[in-house]
Structure 1
Amino acid sequence: MTIAPLFISHGGPDVLINESPARHIWQAHAASLPRPRGIVIMSAHYLALQPLIGSAPQWRTVHDFGGFPRELYRLSYPAHGDAALAQQVSDALGAAGIAHQHDPADGMDHGAWVPLLMMYPQADIPVVTLSTLPRQDAAAHFRLGQALAGLAAQDILIIGSGSVTHNLYALGAPGTPPQPWAQAFADWVALRLQQGDVAGLLNWQAEAPFGKQNHPSDEHLLPLFFAMGAANGRPARSLHRGIEYAAVTMDAWEFAATAA
């Protein structure tokens, strides 16, 4: 059974309690999927200089944010890991010639647990994490995804969790209209994802409008290329599009998975 890879713009943790439609889209999409045997997720908040594979026997929920309502700090996502799946990820990266290490740390950041809490609230599907590499480029993350593409045909749900736009200096109040530069960037990305334009997307820093304005640093966009690589660059379909707080693009995309 093949499960199509996903890219999710996870937003802030308050997406779980505010009026955002994004969480309902995640929930409905998960309900429409075959039940995964496991989940491999790359979060923009799990950063390392080289690929790290995390598979804690029991995950600890990390509330790596500040200034949000108290109720968010009481939430937990007690998922467990899967040593066998972590080894599959390791074997796949090794076969692709990608150096990596296993990470014994047991903390799961909000870029992973926030969407997973909505998608699989029972926390009964094992989760393996893969680090984002802020000093490497889009092409490197695409290659990481390509190395794991075969897992999608083995009942594994592969998720990149980040944000199509991420400029926290430009946030507006709830209900503020989208910034034109955020909308232009999101529209550019959307068109190329739908076309399967791998070359254009990997060259986003040169080709996309307002690239630096939307991503002063690019760690939140890099998981997109990981998910795209896991589908070997096949076109994507939109699950949700929308901009909140003027500049937070909450777009979610499903990629056409490589057939088994």
Structure 2
Amino acid sequence: MMPSLFIAHGAPLLAIENNEYTQFLNQLGKTLPKPKAVILFSAHYESPVQRVSDVEEFDTIYDFGGFPEPLYRIKYPAPGNSNITEEIKAAFSNNGIPVEVETKRGLDHGAWVVLRMLYPNADIPVISMSVNQHVKPEEHYQIGKALSALREQDVLIIGSGGTVHNLRAVKWEMDGRGIEQWAVDFDQWIEQHMNSWDTEALFNYETLAPNAAVAVPPYGKEHFIPIFYAMGAADDVKQAKLLHRSYRYGNLSHSVWQFG
């Protein structure tokens, strides 16, 4: 059965960098079984109602500014898969989850930066999914859980975001020069409760986890919550494994979790 994954997409520059993390993601795509399709929840795609794509071929969205020109030349024209979209709609309907179909939106950098490193040929069908930071973690988890059966069909489910992703707290001058302890402490708390599948604690991370307010600021929950969609998709197995963790800019976390 295909696992589900949470993958930190970091800063857009990852798309043109060669470092420890990009090398890990390139290798991860080679070691995973080739999926029939990828369902991806991106932190940069927010909607109050769960949206699912039905796109023949995706455009590439450059939802950032002020970066080197080569970033804006990257294309990731992944195909969609209408049959998988219909299965997702049916799964949501069976679980009482409202859903809207999106037929035009392309892939934002939270999606294509990750997908391009895993599958550089853009030949794996993609279904793009929105996130909603204004509902409880339990609801994100239940949405992922509703999709768990698709893993039996070799569909890979990915949540793309970041466990510590606070752009107001990053220290650009610290890149490669150490890691702030508060970020490590938060990530280690997450690791402890992920390993024991302690959803009660994880769903209440805002009050229980050390340094939660700075690691996951109120204006930036959209980057943390994709982990719950990915986790819920493996509710049938309830196994978590940290595959990679590194940091940039003092505290920006590059964590990759495998579930199932």
TM-score when normalising by structure 2:
0.95
CA offsets 1:110-160 (integer angstroms, 9 cap, x no match): 000001001001100100011001211211100000000101111100000
Q: Kindly state the Cα deviation for residue 64 of structure 1 after the two structures are TM-superposed.
A: 0.6
Alpha-carbon distance between aligned partners in 2 of 1:122 and 1:218, rounded to the nearest angstrom: 31
The worse-fitting range, judged by mean Cα deviation, of 24-33 and 153-162 is 24-33
Alpha-carbon distance between aligned partners in 2 of 1:115 and 1:218, rounded to the nearest angstrom: 19
Q: Kindly state the Cα deviation for residue 44 of structure 1 after the two structures are TM-superposed.
A: 0.2
Alpha-carbon distance between aligned partners in 2 of 1:176 and 1:204, rounded to the nearest angstrom: 28
Alpha-carbon distance between aligned partners in 2 of 1:168 and 1:75, rounded to the nearest angstrom: 24
CA RMSD between the two structures: 1.2
Identity %: 36
Is this contact kept in 1: 2:2–2:154, CA < 8 A? yes
Alpha-carbon distance between aligned partners in 1 of 2:181 and 2:204, rounded to the nearest angstrom: 21
Alpha-carbon distance between aligned partners in 2 of 1:91 and 1:153, rounded to the nearest angstrom: 16
Is this contact kept in 2: 1:3–1:157, CA < 8 A? yes
Q: Kindly state the Cα deviation for residue 239 of structure 1 after the two structures are TM-superposed.
A: 1.3
| Matching residue of 1:214 | 215
| Matching residue of 1:122 | 121
Is this contact kept in 2: 1:142–1:227, CA < 8 A? yes
| Matching residue of 1:29 | 28
Alpha-carbon distance between aligned partners in 2 of 1:131 and 1:84, rounded to the nearest angstrom: 19
Alpha-carbon distance between aligned partners in 2 of 1:151 and 1:72, rounded to the nearest angstrom: 33
The structure 1 segments of at least 4 consecutive aligned residues displaced by more than 6 Å after TM superposition are none
**1:237 and 2:236 are equivalent in the alignment:** no
Is this contact kept in 2: 1:6–1:227, CA < 8 A? yes
Amino acid at match of 1:243: Y
5 Å matches for 1:1-260? 2-172=1-171, 173=173, 174-216=175-217, 217-232=220-235, 234-256=238-260
Alpha-carbon distance between aligned partners in 2 of 1:239 and 1:88, rounded to the nearest angstrom: 29
Is this contact kept in 1: 2:3–2:258, CA < 8 A? yes
The worse-fitting range, judged by mean Cα deviation, of 99-108 and 46-55 is 99-108
SS in 1 for 2:223: coil
Alpha-carbon distance between aligned partners in 2 of 1:60 and 1:19, rounded to the nearest angstrom: 25
Amino acid at match of 2:94: A
Alpha-carbon distance between aligned partners in 1 of 2:34 and 2:57, rounded to the nearest angstrom: 20
Q: Kindly state the Cα deviation for residue 19 of structure 1 after the two structures are TM-superposed.
A: 4.6
Q: Kindly state the Cα deviation for residue 200 of structure 1 after the two structures are TM-superposed.
A: 1.2
Q: Which runs of 5+ in 1 are unaligned?
A: none
Query: How many pairs were matched up?
Result: 255
Q: Which runs of 5+ in 2 are unaligned?
A: none
Q: Kindly state the Cα deviation for residue 187 of structure 1 after the two structures are TM-superposed.
A: 0.9
Is this contact kept in 1: 2:169–2:214, CA < 8 A? no
